Structure formats: C-alpha cells, structure tokens
Amino acid sequence: MKEDKLLYLGHASLRIITNEGKVIYIDPYAGDNYDLSADLILVTHDHYDHNDIAKVKNKNTDIKIITNKEALQNGKYQTFNLGYVKIETIEAGYNNYHNINECVGYILSLTDGVTIYIPGDTYLTPQMKKLGSRLIDYAFFPCDGKYTMNVKEAMKAAQLVNAKYSIPYHMNPGSNFSEEIAYKFKVKNKLIIKPNEEIILKHFK
C-alpha cells in the first residue's frame, strides 16, 4: 500500500500527497515545489502569505479550492468529504490581526486514518480544549509571537491538542524557519520539519 507524504514548503505552506496519489496544497506561498498538479487547495485566510493560489500553476480539471470563505459560511464551520480526504473546518484567529469571523483552521482525515491539524494563523482558541480527545496524529502550531501565538502559547496549545506529533511552523514574520524558535518549542513528541523536508505520515492508534 502506498503511503501518505507531507512536504513542508516553508512558512505555513504544506503539500500532502495521499496514498491514492492525490495532491493537496495548503496555504500556498512559501517555497518553489508546486509542480505537481493539484487536486485540492486549502486556504486558511486572506493574507498574502497564505493564499497565493496563482503559485499553483498545475491544476487537475476536477480541482477543489476551499478558502476561508467557503469553509466558514454564515457563521457555520463547514465539513467537506472528497472521498480521499475529509476536511473539517475549525475556529482560528482571536487576535487583532486575525478575525475569528474571517479565519479558519482545518482537520484533515485521510483514508488510512491519518489525521492532521492545520490551525492557520491563530492564538489559543476555546476549541483546542476539545481536540485532545481526537487523538490527532500530526498538529502544526504557529509561533511567531506577533501575528500568531508566541512559543509559550504554542506550547500550551500543543498540550491541549495532545497530538502524537506537535510541529512548530510560521515562526518568524517574513521568515520561513527559525532554528532558535524551533529549539524553544519544548513539548512532548516534538517533531521539527525544515523547509523542503518531506516526511511519511503514519496513523497512530
């Protein structure tokens, strides 16, 4: 059976290739590895460093593009089931730069059971307390300390979500990665992924 793969493009940009070979880009902006034809593009909010959809030049004819506008409609968080992935929209924001009525995060559930939490640009949210029981496999946490949580707050968020692996990202405004901030992110089961590094995703029961 083929495996799910996740490529960290830098900043808050990710690429997932599912075990079916479907290609998902999340918050396209950083990096240059956008050659694979997209089946799905997810955008958490309208800021330029998260929604450079034009960077994904190769798109399959049946591509699905879900932005925060489709994901949050009339105050209701939407769920999308595309067969190869289920996408649950969750709350995000809670700071002066990110309005909770305009920003979202996502939980992705792949067909082999792998779950991934993509929070977008956020501070601590009430919903994080409920995610600990979900047994999420991989969770990302922004920690730039200005537009999102700082490292200490991100560590608190990681404790609440309690994923199998907690991954810091969106570390510095205008910077893709920071060794210093990654080191300070001290939580159980920390996983550091550097820009252009790809990992195999596994479901942990």
pLDDT bracket for residue 173 (50, 70, 90):
low
In a domain, 64, yes or no: yes
In a domain, 21, yes or no: yes
* 23-26/38-42 β-pairing: parallel
The answer, yes or no, to whether residue 108 has pLDDT greater than 80, is yes
Does 204 map to a domain? no
Q: Give me the DSSP letters along 57-124.
A: --EEEEEEEE-HHHHEETTEE-EEE-SSEEEEEEE---BTTB-TTT-EEEEEEETTS-EEEE--S---
189-199 residue pLDDT tens: 999 999 999 99
Given a cut of 80, is residue 65 above it in pLDDT? yes
- pLDDT band at 174, cuts 50/70/90? low
Give dist(CA 116, CA 193) in Å, integer. Answer: 14
Please determine, for residue 181, whether its predicted confidence score (pLDDT) is greater than 80: yes
Q: According to the model, what pLDDT value does residue 175 have?
A: 65
Task: Give the domain CATH number at 146.
Answer: 3.60.15.10
Split into its structural domains, the chain has a count of 1
Q: Is the pLDDT of residue 146 over 90?
A: no
200 in a structural domain? no
**Residue 132 is assigned to a structural domain of this protein:** yes
pLDDT for residue 97: 78
Distance from C-alpha of 92 to C-alpha of 101, rounded to nearest angstrom: 9
For CA atoms 203, 167, 103, 195, give the dihedral sign: negative
What is the mean pLDDT of the segment spanning 82-111? 92
Residue span of the structural domain in which 52 resides: 4-193
Q: Looking at the whole model, is its pTM more than 0.85?
A: yes
Q: In this structure, is residue 168 part of a structural domain?
A: yes
Query: Which residues lie across from 79 on neighbouring strands?
Result: 88
34 inside domain: yes
Q: Are 173 and 147 in contact (CB under 8 A)?
A: yes
Q: How far apart are CA 19 and CA 28, in angstroms?
A: 21
In a domain, 203, yes or no: no
pLDDT in tens, 3-56: 999 999 999 999 999 999 999 999 999 999 999 999 999 999 988 889 999 999
